[in-house]
Amino acid sequence: MNLSAPTEFQQPLDQTIALPRPTLHKASVWRERIELVLLIVLVFTVVNLASMRFYIEGPSMQSTFYAGQFLIVSRAHYLLTEPQRGDIVVFDAPGDDNRTNNPLLIKRLIGLPGDHIVVENGQVYVNDVPLNEPYVHYDPGENLFRCGGEYCDIVLEENQYYMMGDNRNDSNDSRAFGPVDRSRLVGEAIIRYWPPADWGIVTRIGYPD
């Protein structure tokens, strides 16, 4: 086989082709600052859409929470998952819509849709099974919590939840205003962040078997 010299239409193998390098321009300091501010605003907006800050007032959730503590409540939890028994939930109580003062409440989720809830002589029964509640708070000398009215023996309908405070003798909850519709659930408490000494993750306590 004969090898011929490269013609004007051929590129020698040992000759590289020099390509122009792209020119990179460094962003100005002001542009970097503006982009940083926009990023911070975006993150802040997303965080606020997905969560809210909640301030504890009153004794209804002692000894789990005390007045003056601040919580972060996740709105996203109930957009992605279903509420579970044992969740600590912030919600808009039924019956308060026409009041000037319509505060959000925080309680523990006791009953799920379809549950038969009975509250009797200081004991909560779910589907005829007594609920083991080691977190329930009593002050020394107090009697067992009572329940009177139509919401002490109730079967929950679809999208209805039964809420109770951990401090049963000092809590305005589903025993008084009835079940809470899912549309009224704001979110689940996930972090206690103030005061610093009380900081911690609010784990789903759940229920012992």
Please list the active-site residues: 60, 107
Query: Which of 134, 132, 171, 127 lies closest to 153, judged by CA?
Result: 127
Please compute, for residue 140, the number of CA atoms within 13 A of its CA located in the half-sphere on the CB side: 0
Type of residue numbered 172 = N
Instruction: Reduce the DSSP state of residue 42 to 3 states and report it.
Output: helix
72 token code pair: 């972060």
Instruction: Please name the amino acid found at residue 135.
Output: Y
Residue 206 to residue 76: CA distance in whole angstroms:
20
Q: Are 181 and 203 in contact (CB under 8 A)?
A: no
| CB 67 within 8 Å of CB 58 | yes
> Do the strands 160-164 and 153-155 form a parallel or antiparallel pair, or are they unpaired?
unpaired
Three-class secondary structure of residue 36 per DSSP:
helix
Q: Residue 185: phi, psi to the nearest 5?
A: -75, 130
Per-residue HEC secondary structure of 144-193 comes to CCCCCCCCCEEECCCCEEEEECCCHHHCCCHHHHCCEEHHHEEEEEEEEE
